[in-house]
Structures are given as C-alpha cells and as structure tokens.
Amino acid sequence: MASSVSVHFAHANGFPAESYQQLFAHLPATWTLHAKPQFGHNPQLPVNKNWANQVEELQDYVRCNCPDGQVYGVGHSFGAVITFMAACLYPKMFKGVILIDPPLVLGPKSLLIRLAKKTAYMDKLTPAGLAQNRNTRWSKDADLVEYFKSKGLFKNMQPACVADYVKAATAVEGDHQVLTFDAQVEADIFRHLPHNLDKFKGKLRCPGLLITGQDSNVCKPEYWRRFIRHNPIAHTRVPGGHMLPLEHPLELAEKITTTIQQWEKSR
C-alpha cells in the first residue's frame, strides 16, 4: 500500500535537504518523507575517509527517525553515494535505493583519487578548492537568488529551486546574510570522495535504480557502466545535468514515484 511507503532523501554536498522542496512537493502525499537536514556538521561524526562517518550519520538518522524500520533510500550526488554504501552495509534497513547522478570513482580512477588525496591536487580534481574559498557572507539586502542564479552551477535550475536553496542554506545574522552549510565541511566532503566503491561490488541486496543526467559532467558513462555491471541495479538517463533534481523536479519526482510504486507491488 502507498500509505506504508517511507522514504529517506539524502542531499548533495552543500545543498541542505530543504533545497529540494519542489521535488518533495511532487511526491505522493501519502508517503512519509524523511530527510536529514545537513550531513557533515555533527562534531561527533566529522567528515572522514571515504565518507564512512556520513554513512553512519545516515543510518543513525534512519534508525532514530523511521519507526517502521525500513525505508526507500533516495540520494543525490554525495547523498546517492552514502545511500548506496549504507544499503550495502545495513541491508535490513532499506527496501530499495534510487541513486541520482552520484560521483562514482571506480577502476583505475580510484587509484588516482587515492593518491591525489595525499596532495593539494585533490582540490583541483574536485570542487574542494572552490568550496574552501567561496563567499559565505553577504549584506542583508543582497538579492541572493539573483546572485546564485548568475553562477554556473545554478544556471539551469528552476528559479523556485534556487529560492529554496537560498532559504535552506543561508540565514540573517545582524546586518548580513551568512551561509549555514559550513564551507569547510563542504570542502572536506569533496576531499574525501570515496575511492573504495569497488569493495561494495555485488553487496546490494535490495532493488536499485541509477538515474543519470544526459548532460551530466559528473556521472559519466565510463563510470556508470562499470557500476551497473558490478551491481544489481537498473539504469536510466533523463534530461538534465548533474543538478537535475533542481532543474527538472517534477519529472524526477514522477520517475521516483513510478519506480517505488512498482517495487511496492512486487514485494
């Protein structure tokens, strides 16, 4: 039954869960939606090697906030990777996973990333350097929606999604607006991009769907093809880039809904 569906959504790095309001609004009203607001900000579970602590954050949140015990895990980018790893490590917790354009590091590239982590080169291979040096403070009267819309990452997002991001990721402090997603945490997440995904080969025990953006510059065919070859997971490509949940929220919500409804019928 649709009313028994519980979903946990894990956000992309730097984009608190409330940034996805347009996507959430188009999911069935009968579903119970859970979404940890921000990952990486718990001092007891700081960002660490291969995002191991963030996987623990996810399973802790689901265990404490989902009394029915099992959820469908949906994640975008960083959130997709930790959702996949959590489902492999805690199979009884997940009924299925939907992974949206994850940054997959597999095969020979995993060795490159592993070595780069020991040098400053990691800040060039990932957006870590940009995150470390980004603006985090603006005047109180600055139009942050227009500010972010001028940035390349946001250029194809729906205006309402940019507005939701601004509301989710900033707050007013005195005479300024400030970023509430710690830029150091954002940079650290990029710097600890997992290079160990190959060790999870064949460990997924629930249904899975990998959704990639046709114009994504992150989840490229050479990586997702290896990923679906090594894991029992279906794959579909949809219009949009890496930020497709904020570019095409309605279409993505329909894909998520249809997939989970089909999985529920087959249980």
pLDDT tens, position by position, 51-93: 999 999 999 999 999 877 799 999 999 999 999 999 999 999 9
The predicted-structure confidence for 21-56, as pLDDT tens digits, reads as follows 999 999 999 999 999 999 999 999 999 999 999 999
Q: Which of 75, 2, 1, 78 is nearest to 34 (CA)?
A: 75
Q: What is the DSSP letter of 196?
A: -
Confidence (pTM): 0.97
**Which pLDDT score is estimated for 66?**
86
Reading the block at residue 175, the tokens are 């005479």
Reading the block at residue 141, the tokens are 């009267």
Question: Average pLDDT of 128-148?
Answer: 96
Task: CATH number of the domain at 137, please.
Answer: 3.40.50.1820
Question: Residue 137 in 3-state DSSP?
Answer: strand
* Burial label, 20 (beta-carbon count in 10 A; 0-12, 13-18, 19+): buried
Q: What are the φ/ψ torsions at residue 106 (nearest 5 degrees)? A: -140, 160
Structural domain that includes position 123: 2-266
Question: Average pLDDT of 94-102?
Answer: 98
The predicted-structure confidence for 102-131, as pLDDT tens digits, reads as follows 999 999 999 999 999 999 999 999 999 999
Query: Cα(25)–Cα(189) distance, rounded to whole angstroms?
Result: 28
The predicted-structure confidence for 196-226, as pLDDT tens digits, reads as follows 999 999 999 999 999 999 999 999 999 999 9
Q: Which of 205, 256, 214, 254 is nearest to 99 (CA)?
A: 256
Q: Structural domain tally of the chain?
A: 1
**Which pLDDT score is estimated for 190?**
98
User: If you average pLDDT over every residue of the chain, what do you get?
Assistant: 95
**Which pLDDT score is estimated for 86?**
98
Q: Can you name the residues that pair with 97 across neighbouring β-strands?
A: 73, 208
Q: What is the DSSP letter of 145?
A: H
The predicted-structure confidence for 183-193, as pLDDT tens digits, reads as follows 999 999 999 99
